[in-house]
Amino acid sequence: MDNDRWLWTLGQEMARHQLAPDAVRHVVAEAAAHLRDSGQPALRAFGTPEGYAAAVAESLAARYGRPARPAPGRVRLSARGITKRYRRRTILRSVDLTVRAGEVAAVVGANGAGKSTFLRICAGLLAPDSGEVTLDGRLGYCPQDAGTYDFLLPDEQFVLIGAGRGLDRERSKQIGRAGAASLQWRPAAGVQTRHLSGGTRQKLNLVMASMGEPDVLLLDEPYQGFDRGTYLDFWQHVWRWRDEGRAVVVVTHLLSQLDQVDQVLDLTPASEGAAA
Ligand SMILES: Nc1ncnc2c1ncn2[C@@H]1O[C@H](COP(=O)(O)OP(=O)(O)OP(=O)(O)O)[C@@H](O)[C@H]1O
């Protein structure tokens, strides 16, 4: 089945699940954009259109059936007036973002709009030219390019990160393995990180970022390379972290979850946004 046919079938299937036409258009456009960007065949990226439509319908039903959320708490992350230039190019111009405990913010924008740059600034890894970031609580940061060590075993990475978060070896391994299992991954004994697939390294990256119950999670497109099931699992984690009172910031290109997040920070430059 070619991608056009797949997208058409997805639209039909979603209509069959009685999803609103706007939602159908939204999801089909998002899937089409992902296929265009990734160059992947649709079946490999998302599975069958029937299965994907059912999963979307389920996730929307879960959303509307979700019990009342706890009210957002204190401000965990505040970025004010963030401006960043590389040589003469201004990448970020006076960007503001405030995220409270129990909130999810999505950072969106075209390739090169400065999403990763903004997250690195929020994580304290990069200094802005002007503006200020205030972070209250423990930070978990999942960079876009896996922050993993090639020659370590996953367990060794869990122990390393756990040590920095005050966890002993056994507890670190336990938490790491449980996190891996929740993303449908069971690390095989003796396999170094360099031998893991791209999607699995990304799972490792995400598990490490979320170890030690951070108050603020900064996630830079953490699901790249995930298959469809794991991608949906990832968003379930996001909602759980939010309901546990964490502040979560997710950089994303994909739009289907945007109506479920508390705020969307669009870094597309004003002139480009107007032209689009
Ligand atoms: N160290 C650097 N020196 C010069 N330019 C840089 C540097 N880091 C990033 N850039 C440029 O800044 C712009 C923003 O990069 P950034 O990675 O933040 O964008 P992005 O929105 O995350 O992109 P993508 O969606 O492709 O991941 C890009 O044009 C990039 O080439």
For residues 130-137, average pLDDT: 95
Ligand 1: which of 89, 92, 117, 121 to mutate, most ligand atoms within 8 Å of CB?
117
Measured CA distances, 187 to 9, 45, 157, 176, 191 (Å): 36, 23, 12, 10, 8
Tokens encoding 34: 């992902």
Q: What is the ipTM of this complex?
A: 0.96
Listed in order, the ranges of the chain carrying CATH 3.40.50.300 are: 75-275
Residue type, position 196, single letter: L
Tokens encoding 44: 């490999």
Position with higher pLDDT, 17 vs 124: 124
How far is residue 269's CA from residue 24's CA, in Å, rounded to a whole number?
A: 27
* Interval 45-75: pLDDT, tens: 999 998 898 888 888 777 665 455 677 889 9
pTM of the predicted model as reported, rounded to 2 decimal places: 0.75
- pLDDT, the chain, mean: 86
Residue 144 CA: nearest ligand 1 atom is: 27
CA of 111 to the centre of ligand 1 (A): 8
Domain boundaries 75-275, corresponding CATH code: 3.40.50.300
Ligand 1: which of 91, 126, 129, 252 to mutate, most ligand atoms within 8 Å of CB?
91
Helix (H, G, I), strand (E, B) or coil at 120: helix
